[in-house]
Amino acid sequence: MQADARILEVISNETRNAVNNINIVTPSIYKSFFEKHALPYGTNLNNEEKMTDSLLDDKIQMCSTVQNQNSQSVVRLSDNTSKAITAIREKDEVTLAQILKETNNLRKEIEKLKEAVYKDELTNVYNRKWMHDEFLDEENVNLIKNGTLAIIDLNFFKLVNDTHGHIVGDKVLVYIANQLRITKEKVIRYGGDEFIILFGKNVDQDTAFTKLNQIRENVISKKLKTAEISFRVSFSIGAYKFKEGDSLASVIELADKNMYDDKMKIKQRITGID
């Protein structure tokens, strides 16, 4: 089921991107787009009900676990607060020291919970939820900070999966994610083989492109090896400087447009995964 889930995630993201600019999307329209994007992967949608049940079970289990842990943390925090108030009134320094230790441990547990919610399972970089919670307004539409958004799209990634298999494809995604971390900026896995890097307000789009291009040149110069297989990978870059109040969808669209010329140029240099 793990491999099926990975493929379904890729298809889902491709479908989402395809219908993003359509004002009205009925279930039938979405289904037709999904089936179209599923064809190249040879995915058997006859087992959709079984796969959906399995995916829902996993998600429900994860949500239930997080909810239970959150509830326990809230209870412990409430207990510590009550004990702390009493200890302060009675000037009980021993109890206060114990509460401080317990609260520090609780803080670490909460940080782990946040990681579970905000990290991509495969690559361990941030996921979409983190970006929406940290960078978007309450309607999940407009950006609440200034900065530069760069979108990274792997080239010939489907060919990697078709030639070497999805396990190798997963390893490529992990490798690229780790390379993008070199920027020391916020890296988000946005889709199957797409990443977003959010640069601070003092970084313009030319500087963001230059930093990412240096990483790309380093990636292109190396051959990845798995068992007896060796091949190259590359990615395309599109950057756009945004300001507070800009629509995330518009910023991504503009970054995509900036990526178009770059994709044409890089595909002339790197014509496959040789």
- Render pLDDT for 230-265 as a digit per residue (tens, 0 to 9): 888 999 999 999 999 999 999 999 999 999 889 888
Residues 260 and 238 sit within 8 Å (Cβ to Cβ): yes
pLDDT of residue 195: 97
Q: Is the pLDDT of residue 45 over 90?
A: no
Across residues 82-109, what is the average pLDDT? 72
pLDDT of residue 127: 92
DSSP H or E run through 234: strand 234-242
Across residues 12-38, what is the average pLDDT? 77
How many angstroms separate the CA atoms of 67 and 190, rounded? Answer: 25
76 CA to centre of own chain: 31
Report the chain's terminal Cα–Cα distance, integer Å. 30
**154 and 244 belong to one structural domain:** yes
Global confidence as pTM: 0.66
Across residues 12-37, what is the average pLDDT? 77
Reference 177, options 152, 198, 158; nearest CA is: 152
**157 and 93 belong to one structural domain:** no
Question: Which residues, 6 or more positions from 233, have their beta carbon under 8 angstroms from its beta carbon?
Answer: 154, 155, 156, 157, 160, 172, 175, 176, 219, 220, 224, 273
- Looking at per-residue pLDDT, the higher value among 245 and 48 belongs to 245
Across residues 55-73, what is the average pLDDT? 57
Q: Is the pLDDT of residue 39 over 70?
A: yes
For residue 76, the one-letter residue type is R
Q: What is the DSSP letter of 91?
A: T
**Which of 47-61, 159-173, 237-251, 253-267 has maximum average pLDDT?**
237-251
Percent of the chain clearing pLDDT 90 (strictly above): 36
Reference 198, options 266, 246, 232, 157; nearest CA is: 246
**36 and 56 belong to one structural domain:** no
Task: Give the three-class secondary structure for 206.
Answer: helix
**146 and 94 belong to one structural domain:** no
**192 and 240 belong to one structural domain:** yes
- DSSP bridge partners of 127: none
212's tokens: 């990412």
| Lookup result for tokens 């900070």 | 145
pLDDT of residue 255: 94
Q: Is the pLDDT of residue 1 over 50?
A: no
Across residues 115-134, what is the average pLDDT? 88
Q: Is the pLDDT of residue 220 over 70?
A: yes
Choice among 11-15, 61-65, 118-122, 199-203 with the minimum mean pLDDT:
61-65
From 118, 144, 163, the end of a domain falls on: 118
Tally of structural domains, the chain: 3
DSSP H or E run through 197: strand 194-199
79: in domain:
yes
- Looking at per-residue pLDDT, the higher value among 90 and 140 belongs to 140
pLDDT of residue 3: 44
265's tokens: 């140029």
For residue 116, the one-letter residue type is A
Average per-residue pLDDT in the chain? 81
**147 and 249 belong to one structural domain:** yes
Question: Which residues, 6 or more positions from 218, have their beta carbon under 8 angstroms from its beta carbon?
Answer: 179
Provide the residue range defining the domain that includes 138: 128-269
pLDDT of residue 70: 56
- At CA 211, angle to CA 207 and CA 212, rounded to 5? 115
123: in domain:
no
**15 and 111 belong to one structural domain:** no
Across residues 120-134, what is the average pLDDT? 91
Across residues 93-120, what is the average pLDDT? 73
**134 and 259 belong to one structural domain:** yes
**189 and 257 belong to one structural domain:** yes
274: in domain:
no
